[in-house]
Amino acid sequence: ITPASMMIVFLGITIGTIMTMSSSNWLMAWIGLELNMLAILPIISKPKTTRASEATTKYFLTQAIASAMMLLSSTMNAWQTGNWSILELKNKFSTTIMALSLMMKMGAAPIHFWLPEVLQGATLQTALLITTWQKIAPITLMYMISNNIQPAILVSAGILSMIIGGLGGINQTQLRKMMAYSSINNLGWTITIMAFFPNMALMNIFTYIIMITPIFLTMTNMSTKTLQNLSTTWTTSMTMTLSIALLMLSTSGLPPFTGFMPKMLILNELISQKLTTLATLAI
């Protein structure tokens, strides 16, 4: 891909996300997400391998289905209310479908199946893009409609994401798959608190993005893709190996690292909302 075409692609990704974040209309938000999705496809398929082509196809199909669900939901709501405004999503059925489509867009359980496979087929830089920038637009939309979504739906999906994200990463040797399950787990925390304190959900996801970016950049720098590669880098680059180990502990929410702060605040909020059982389950 030539530098000019790469610039157009990255411009498409940036404009698509900004368009979705700044729109007050479902159609404009949908157009922004479509532009964003179509722009990232050449980046995923850039390595001319079978695995990259497979990852591109999986990403395209899941995102296209999510976009179709989003369009169906907003059309049904507009049919009933006569309004395309994002904040006027009043129909319960439309709200549920919209919540599911946004969860599918960002890769939260129970519609998470595509994320580990796509990350495994993509390069480390593309995996970084999918786990950070690509989540901003759907999370912004979920934040905008969080008052209208039934808390039971968000909490159920959040707990399921925490469980699947926690258990899925246990037996992995591929670092990209581990990062995918880490992303699913973190989305679980974000979605759970979105039902009660949306501002804290945004703080949690942005803290996660700040933590996961240096992990991927360090892995790219050291050319590590498996745990075995990571274990052998100790002899060549001790500082980087130590940094990535500390960053991973921070991502998992271990005190006294940065990643512990949002999780502690979320647990505190769940307890203050009289959701002690939920907080215990989250731990």
Amino acid code (one letter) for 81: T
How far is 157 from 102, CA to CA, in rounded Å? Answer: 12
Q: Domain range spanning residue 108?
A: 3-282
pLDDT of residue 212: 94
pLDDT of residue 282: 58
List of the chain residues with pLDDT < 70: 1, 276-283
Picking from 95, 105, 81, the residue whose alpha carbon sits closest to that of residue 195 is 95
How far is 95 from 87, CA to CA, in rounded Å? Answer: 11
pLDDT of residue 280: 63
pLDDT of residue 163: 93
pLDDT of residue 236: 79
Cα three-residue angle 158-156-205, rounded to 5 degrees: 15
Task: Name the domain count of the chain.
Answer: 1
pLDDT of residue 279: 60
**DSSP codes joined into one string, the chain:** --HHHHHHHHHHHHHHHHHHHH-SBHHHHHHHHHHHHHHHHHHHT-S-SHHHHHHHHHHHHHHHHHHHHHHHHHHHHHHHHS--BGGG---HHHHHHHHHHHHHHHT-TTS-THHHHHHHHS-HHHHHHHHTHHHHHHHHHHHHHTTTS-HHHHHHHHHHHHHHHHHHTTT--BHHHHHHHHHHHHHHHHHHHHTT-HHHHHHHHHHHHHHHHHHHHHHHHHT--BHHHHHHTTTT-HHHHHHHHHHHHHHTT-TTSTTHHHHHHHHHHHHHTT-HHHHHHH-
pTM of the model: 0.93
pLDDT of residue 199: 94
pLDDT in tens, 186-216: 999 999 999 899 999 999 999 999 999 999 9
As a whole number of angstroms, the longest Cα–Cα distance in the chain is 65
pLDDT of residue 39: 95
pLDDT of residue 226: 87
pLDDT of residue 223: 85
In the block, which residue shows the tokens 């532009």?
35
How far is 44 from 48, CA to CA, in rounded Å? Answer: 10
